[in-house]
Amino acid sequence: MEQMILLWVLSTCLSAVHAQSFLLSSKWVPAGHREREGRGDETVMDKIIKTNEFHANRIIDGTTTLREGDIAVSAGRRSRVCFARSCLWTKSVDGHVYIAYTLSPEYTNIETQLITKGMEKIEDDTCVRFVPRTHQRDYIDIQPKSGCWSYLGSRGGRQTLSLQNPDCMELGVIAHEFMHALGFVHEQSRFDRDNYVTIMWPKIWRDRLRNFEKFKTENLDLPYDYGSIMHFGMYSYSMDGEPTIVPKNNKNIKLGQALSLSHIDKLKINKLYQCTVSDD
Ligand SMILES: [Zn+2]
């Protein structure tokens, strides 16, 4: 009997220790998102998904929803296609594409500097220039709303680009959202993506299957870019921590970017906007 009591006490203690270590080690994460600790390979899109699944409703307001996780779409407006040249920002006669912006006064000085640096990531080696708005009719209104998201391309007039603070305050995330504003969708949305990656449909959180749709994209004769800042990570929207996107042929290829634009991302901008030089 004493032995049994001893065993019971021992097992109770052990399960308490186990429960405690579980409680201490487990972080609450949104359903469909598995934290992959210690890998150190979190992509820009992983960060965006984490923020948006925590904070942003897929319905931003009554008529605006998020597509592919972070592209704002308004009902009744050209909702899907911005791959023709219909939504480009206007190019100036001096060869630059000047995009006017306003910045919410809610951002701190440090946050403002970071957003500016994120925009510089786009400007480097391209003809795009972000300029504080003076009189321009079309402009990006940067606001710390819920989540990190942007409309696709130029919509005409004022368009919001949300960079929630502090969650979206990372250079890569900022640059990614401005890429959407320039007119780029996610790399794995390319219509020819099935030649390059396998989408593991059963592994994707069911509510988010639509985030993996393909679109009739303008690929600009550029190769599929596994390392694009616009590529989903390998574990995006994974139900059980298993990959949801697997590169074909070479499983060791890394998907996405952690910090900045890839070389091909810059080529994309220069081709879409027909920039002639990589000048100052
Ligand atoms: Zn995105």
- Band (pLDDT 50/70/90 cuts) for residue 218 is confident
Q: Residue length, the chain?
A: 280
Residue predicted with more confidence, 8 or 201: 201
For residue 279, the model assigns a pLDDT of 47
Active site residue ranges:
177
Q: What average pLDDT does the segment 35-53 reach? A: 78
What distance lies between CA 267 and its chain's CA centroid? 19
Provide the annotated binding site for Zn(2+): 176, 180, 186
For residue 122, report the distance from its CA to the centre of ligand 1, in Å.
15
For residue 175, report the distance from its CA to the centre of ligand 1, in Å.
10
Task: Write down all domains in the chain, each with its CATH number in brackets.
Answer: 51-74+81-186 (3.40.390.10)
Strands (E), the chain: 64-67, 71-74, 97-103, 128-132, 139-143, 148-151, 158-163, 197-199, 245-247
Residue predicted with more confidence, 29 or 40: 40
pTM: 0.84
For residue 176, report the distance from its CA to the centre of ligand 1, in Å.
6
- Band (pLDDT 50/70/90 cuts) for residue 252 is confident
Q: What average pLDDT does the segment 73-88 reach? A: 66
Cis before 105? omega within 30: no
pLDDT > 70: what percent of the chain? 79
Measure the CA angle with vertex 70, ends 209 and 160; round to 5°: 150
For residue 227, report the distance from its CA to the centre of ligand 1, in Å.
14
- Taking 3-state DSSP, the helix, strand and coil percentages for the chain, each rounded to the nearest 5, stand at 35, 15, 50
Tokens at 264, concatenated: 């091909």
Cβ neighbours for 217, distance < 8 A, ≥ 6 positions apart: 83, 185, 189, 190, 191
Residue pLDDT, tens place only, 222-240: 999 999 999 999 999 999 9
Tokens at 195, concatenated: 């030649």
Provide the annotated binding site: 176, 180, 186
